[in-house]
Amino acid sequence: MRLELFGHQVWEALDVSQVLFLCEQHRVDAIVIAAEIESGELIEKQLRGTVMRLKPNTDAAYVDWDLSQLFPKKNITIQ
């Protein structure tokens, strides 16, 4: 998924501790959990703020639309 093409800042993390570190170091408006991540529901419960857990058929255009509904006319940063 290439959210950068829609103008979003994207960081990738391998585990929850990396996500928390990135949230401390940067302004992160939303965290997106990929569909292929095991224990996505458990991870989602450990995080604060706006968290989206994707389904296997979700594409970047849908995520961009969803984020634009959550944060209208605002540049957001995706984790």
> pLDDT digit string (tens) for 16-65?
899 999 999 998 889 998 888 888 888 888 888 889 999 999 998 999 89
Domain count along the chain: 1
**Across the chain, which distance is largest between two alpha carbons, in Å?**
33
Average pLDDT over the chain, rounded to whole?
Answer: 85
Task: State pLDDT tens for residues 2-22.
Answer: 788 888 888 889 888 999 999
Among candidate residues 24, 21, 17, 47, the one with its CA nearest the CA of residue 32: 47
User: Residue 63 half-sphere exposure, CB side, CA atoms within 13 Å?
Assistant: 30
Q: Which domain holds residue 49?
A: 3-78
Residue 73's pLDDT is 67
Residue 77's pLDDT is 65
Q: Token pair for residue 59?
A: 């594409």
Q: Token pair for residue 16?
A: 């929850």
- The separation between the first and the last C-alpha atoms of the chain, rounded to the nearest angstrom, is 13
